[in-house]
Structure formats: structure tokens, C-alpha cells
Amino acid sequence: MINGRPALTNLEVRPARAADADAIAGIYAHHVLHGTASFDAVARTPVQTEEKMRDTLSKGWPFIVAERAEMIMGYAYVTGFRDRPAYNYTCENSIYLDPACVGQGVGVQLMRALMERARDCGFRQMIAVIGGGEPASVALHSKMGFTHAGRMRNVGRKFGRWLDTVYMQAELGDGDRSAPAREPA
């Protein structure tokens, strides 16, 4: 049982494909138009979504979906945290769920898979930048072992109000307990 509901079964977490772009764009559009997790004012189109997927995957980084019965229930991906070489081992995550799928364990399964795949790519730290300090996102990240790393107060404005951004951080694999095989250039 998860939140009083039966555990999610037959959920497949897999790499995103071009055919998923419409569903992913739809999920993101809901969050742009109705929530504060994204500070975007205009949602990406399916074409822009496919470009984002292609760019992420071309770097060897994970862009994954959770699917059951041919329905995309959510998606997650990582990007580089910053573009300077010293940050090569730190990634930033993004995770969004179809609003009908919240509270069913989809986020936990997606985040677990994302963290494993990011670790396998060589990332040692994962940063969550949580727009609006969304309580459900903070709860999910806390559940997955992320710790509070900071809060920037009133840095965004959406829906007529000022919004904070919460930073959370999780160690992946060896974290800082060992040096990577290659130092950044």
C-alpha cells in the first residue's frame, strides 16, 4: 500500500523515445500552466520536447519515462548542473508526473531509476532545484535521501506571487569518498 492505495504494478521505467514527446509535453504543460514547480510561462511544444530528449540522450545522460498500459505516467531526466568543468560530476534532476498519477509511487520508482542511471553515467552528486518549494517535490526528494542544501527566497514570480527555490542534494555512488577516474579538463 502507498498512501492508502494498492502498490503500483506493471510499471515500466524505460528510456524516453521520440514517440513519447506528445505525452511528455502534455505533462509538462500541466505543470507550467497550473503549478510552480516550473518557472516557465510557456510550455515546450512536442517538437521542442523531442529536441530536449535528443540533446540529453546524445550526451549519454538519462531521460526516462514511467509507463503502464501504454500510458506515460511521468518522466525524469538529468542535465549538467553547471557548464564549467569542475561541475562535470554533478547533475541536476527534473521529474514531472501526470497529475492523475500523483501519490501512487510513480515518483519513487522514477527517481530511484534516475539516480541509478545518473550514477552509472559517472555523476557523483545530484541537485534538485525545486521551484516554488513545492511540498510534494520536497517530500519525494527527502524520501529518496536528498538533504536540504539551501533556499533562495522570492527569486521567482508566477501567478501573482513571489516564489522561493529550494535546493536539495543527494550523493550518488561513492560521492566524494573517492576521486573520479578522470579529473575534469
The predicted-structure confidence for 150-178, as pLDDT tens digits, reads as follows: 999 999 999 999 999 999 999 999 999 99
Position 4 scores a pLDDT of: 46
Position 180 scores a pLDDT of: 86
* 65 secondary structure, DSSP code: E
Give, for all 185 residues of the chain, the pLDDT tens digit. 444 444 557 899 999 999 999 999 999 999 999 999 999 999 999 999 999 999 999 999 999 999 999 999 999 999 999 999 999 999 999 999 999 999 999 999 999 999 999 999 999 999 999 999 999 999 999 999 999 999 999 999 999 999 999 999 999 999 999 988 877 65
In the CATH scheme, what is the homologous superfamily, with its name and number, of domain 12-171? Gcn5-related N-acetyltransferase (GNAT) (3.40.630.30)
Helix residue ranges per DSSP H, 4-156: 21-34, 46-58, 106-120, 135-143
Dist. CA 133–CA 36, nearest whole Å: 8
Closest by CA to 89, choosing from 128, 125, 57, 129, is 125
Closest by CA to 125, choosing from 169, 177, 68, 62, is 169
Order of all β-strands in the sheet with 63-68: 12-15, 63-68, 71-80, 90-97, 125-131, 161-171, 147-158
Q: How far is CA 83 from the centre of its chain?
A: 18
